[in-house]
Structures are given as C-alpha cells and as structure tokens.
Amino acid sequence: MDDLSLSLLDICMNSAEADASTVKASIMTYPDDHKLEMTVEDDGVGMENDVAEKATDPFYTQRPSRKVGLGLPLLKHAATNTGGDFHIRTRPGKGTIVRAVFHMDHVDMPNLGDLASSVLTFVLHPKTNDFTFTYGDVKNTFVFDLNEILRIIDKDDLSNGSIRRYIYDMLQEGINMKEGENHEDIEGIKTVTR
Ligand SMILES: Nc1ncnc2c1ncn2[C@@H]1O[C@H](COP(=O)(O)OP(=O)(O)OP(=O)(O)O)[C@@H](O)[C@H]1O
Ligand SMILES: [Mg+2]
C-alpha cells in the first residue's frame, strides 16, 4: 500500500461493488494515544463467514477477471505492521464494517497521501450516492456529506471540471482545517469543534 488515501479508496470501492447504497468512511486520529483509525461502513451485500475469513488472503477474490484481491490484505498488513489492529464485521444482507487502527509513531506508519483526491474519485464513481467522509481528531471533526452537495447540484453536474475543482478544494479545506476555524458557510461541510 502506498498511502492511506489509496487504501481508503480501495475499501470504499469494495463497498460500491457490494452494492451498498450508503457508505460511511472515516479517518480519526487520537493524538494522546498516538493512534489513527480508519473505518468504512456500508449497507451492501455483506459476506458469509467463510468469505469474511478468506477476505484478507491476497489469493482470495470474488472478481472473475483475476485471481488476487489486494484491498483488504494490504490494509490489514499496513495496520498490523505498525502494531495496530484490523477487523471486519459483516453480516450477509446487512453490510460490512472494516476498521483498521494504526500506531502513528511507528516507523512503518504510512503517509496519509492525497485524501481529497481519493474521496473525490469515490464521489465520481457512478454507484456512489449516499456517502459521508468524516475526518478529524478529538477537537475538530470535518464531515463531508455528498447528500448536501447533491441538494445543490445534479449528479450529472459532477462531470463538470469546475464543480469537481470546487469539491476538491472543499475537501482540502476541511482536511487541512485548523482548530477553531469555522467553515459553516460552505455547503457540504459540517465542522464540530469540541
Ligand atoms: N464491503 C464489502 N462487502 C462485501 N464483500 C466484500 C467487501 N469488501 C470485500 N469483500 C469481499 O472480499 C473480497 C476481497 O476484497 P479485496 O478488496 O481484498 O479484493 P478485491 O476487491 O477482490 O480486489 P482488489 O481490491 O484488488 O481490486 C472481495 O472480492 C469481496 O468478495
Ligand atoms: Mg477491493
């Protein structure tokens, strides 16, 4: 795995491929514990126990086109390499929660990468509708809610370059938000300062 942003995109794509109508992704940091937690929750088809057990094996995939599936094994490897944890909770017909915890001060801690690009790429995926991305720490939380955006524009408008740029900038601003800043005036962004 190159960085966390690419892994987040992989895991969200799994949810889209599992026909999820709602996908909730989050990256939260807990500086006091030196931990970062990534979760992706969906209401897709879920997995039977045997599939869930095999899902983190790189030689398991339900893709007919190739023999390896790397999204989950790479995330598990990246998280456990830092001394962190990895869990999948899933129920057939109900959905799936993938959770990875990283120890941020470990030498093998991956970079965050370009989170705004990954989130935008998932927003542009044709199957994505009800999608939220939460990013923050114990003091500040930024919530990007695609439903809020789709209240002001049509899904087709996402093909427009300036609208993509607008969403990208909005994501960058939320992700780079400093404590105490207020972005309430921007549609699609909610910030909670605790
Ligand atoms: N959110 C999910 N809901 C239902 N099944 C899932 C979900 N995520 C993964 N799976 C199952 O686990 C398998 C392995 O996932 P993984 O992301 O590791 O590989 P892949 O998606 O098959 O291929 P790749 O990610 O390399 O494109 C998938 O083929 C799918 O069967
Ligand atoms: Mg995958």
**Nearest 5°: phi and psi at 10?**
-55, -45
Confidence (pTM)? 0.91
Under 8 Å between Cβ of 82 and 4: no
Domain assignment present for 54 = yes
Reported as type and span, the H/E element at residue 167 is helix 161-175
* Residue range of the domain that includes 129: 4-137
| Residue 180: pLDDT band with limits 50, 70, 90 | low
- Number of folded domains that form the chain: 1
With a 6 Å cutoff on the Cβ, whether 145 touches ligand 1 is no
User: Which residue of 72, 77, 99 sits with most ligand 1 atoms within 8 Å of its CB, as the best mutation to test the pocket?
Assistant: 72
Å from CA of 25 to ligand 1 middle: 16
Residue 184 belongs to some domain of the structure: no
Looking at residue 25, which CATH number applies to its domain?
A: 3.30.565.10
**Does the residue 15 lie in any domain?**
yes
State if residue 171 touches ligand 1 by the CB under 6 angstroms criterion: no
Give yes or no for residue 63 CB within 6 A of ligand 1. yes
Residue 173 lies in a domain: no
The tens digit of pLDDT for each residue in 2-36 reads 799 999 999 999 999 999 999 999 999 999 999 99
Considering the domain boundaries, does residue 172 fall inside one?
no
Could you report the per-residue pLDDT of 83-138, keeping only the tens digit for each?
Answer: 999 999 999 999 999 999 999 999 999 999 999 999 999 999 999 999 999 999 98
